[in-house]
Every structure is written in structure tokens, then in C-alpha cells.
Structure 1
Amino acid sequence: MVCQIFLAVVLLAFIVGSLIFTGGRVGEAQNTNWDEVWRWPVFPVPAWILIVPAIVGAFVVLPMCIRTPAARANILLGAVGPTFAAGGSAVLFMFLFPADDGPFPMPDPDDGSLGWHWVALVPTVFSLVVLIIAVAVKGREYERIRLSGGASW
């Protein structure tokens, strides 16, 4: 979950930094709403910053889901939100930082290709699917244990 939260924090830091320091400009093509302190981007986000934690998270999610007892399935459910946010981070950055070349062209072909941040989306989606399956499988047992008074927070 820490790996997924890291991706969401990078996105949050980028957005907040952009809003404060670049005149409210999150994307390169946007206009500024007030004077810039720094030019866009506040800090560039290379693809590897997202790819490495996403891959680590994908390797950890399966053993975590298998080893988590049904009585603690709420932990797995709590990891779904940060993992979804991590996927959103990868999607946003692949559009904000396009690549000169790549396998997926931008919606406007003159803009190049989607940034290599899309690579982080693959293990993040894998992690999200594994978590959803684990929550579905262990959720019924968790609810039964919770109703009987045996589940712990």
C-alpha cells in the first residue's frame, strides 16, 4: 500500500506545487491565472519515479492478499482506494509529459506519444484487480466474522 500511496503523493505534490508556483497551471498548454513563481513544470516527473514503486507494489500485492486473514479483510479494502489513485496518477502523468516516440500516440498526433508513465499503469491495474478479487473472496467471510463480533480493526 505504501508503494501505491507514494504514486498518489507524487501526483498531489505535483498538482499543489503547480497550482501554487506556476500560476495555477497544471498542464503545459494551460494559461496562468496569476504570475508564475516558477515556469511549468514545477518539477518534472520522469516515468521511472512511477514505474519502480508500481512494480514493487505488484510483486507485494499477491502475497499480501493471500496472507491476510479474512478477519482483517478491511485492510485489503483500504488498499483499493490508494491503488485506484495510483492508477489515476499514471494516467494523468502520461498525458502531462508526452514522449517524442512511443507505442501509443497522443489524441492529437502532433503532440507525440503518451509518456512512458503508462508503463506504471500496467502493474497498478494488476494490483487493483488482485485487491478487488481478494476483497470479494474474503469479504463474505469477513462480514460473517464481523457480525459474530470476532473481527478486529
Structure 2
Amino acid sequence: MPIDIRPDDLSGPEMAELIAIHAQTMLAASPPESCHFLPIEGLRQPSVSVWSMWEDGALIGCGALKDLGGGQGEIKSMHTRSALRGRGLGRSMLEHILAEARARKYTGLWLETGSMDAFLPARRLYEAYGFAYCGPFGDYAEDPNSLFMRLALA
């Protein structure tokens, strides 16, 4: 059965659990003051679109896109269940978010990720899609535990 990526209203218990796992994963890899994940309430903002990824009726991942205004967006809450990593599921979610950003006519996408080794696979994924390292954006500040990336969209 193919992977199904669909909009999510964050009302289901499966998504609440996955967002909680995402938070625990981030807190396990980064100091709390350097964790910039959005809790489920933060994902329920009008400026944030959330997608869930399903396979055979099971929730396997998620991703979100925050509208920063001015034709810019920020990738948030990219997460794949740890037992399923290495299958290209993150790549599928990233491609979905990129397609949505292009459909919205965004001119740029931003993201914040960790600087620690635990985040190396994520950084390599973003690099493979042309994201380049940059300085902090929006409300972010310089932090040795954070790296910032941007992709210009045509």
C-alpha cells in the first residue's frame, strides 16, 4: 500500500502521541533552551499547516509548514517514527512540503535544526535538496546548538 500524506487537524490521538514523541526526541538530543519544536498547541495556529503520513492505517510521520509572511515559510515538526527511518519517508514529506510551498508561490523556505550529531541525517537531507546554511531568522538567536538553513524557491 502506498504512503498517504494528508492534511491533519491534530485532533486524533495518534498525532498527539507522535507530536509528544517528537518533543521527547528533541529534548533528548538538545538542551531545553535550544529546542524550538512547536508543541501541539503551537501547531494549531492558522499560520501552520500540518500533514500526517500514513502507511497501512498506521501513522508513520508528520511535517508542518509555517507561513512567515512575505512569501516565506518555515519547515516545522518533520518527524518519522524511529523504527522506520532510512526508508526515504522524510524525503517524501520534504518533497510534499516543497510542493506546497511552491504552490503557495513562496520565494523562500527556512528551517532550524540541531547542530549535534543526532541531527546529521536531517541536515544531509536538507542539504541534498539545496538548503544552504545561514544565520538566524525570525525570532531565533545565535545558539551553538542550532543551525539555520534556507532554500530559495523560484
TM normalised by structure 1 equals 0.28
TM normalised by structure 2 equals 0.28
Query: Where is the strand percentage greater, Structure 1 or Structure 2?
Result: 2
Greater RCO, CA 8 A, separation 6+: 1
In terms of Rg, which structure is larger?
1
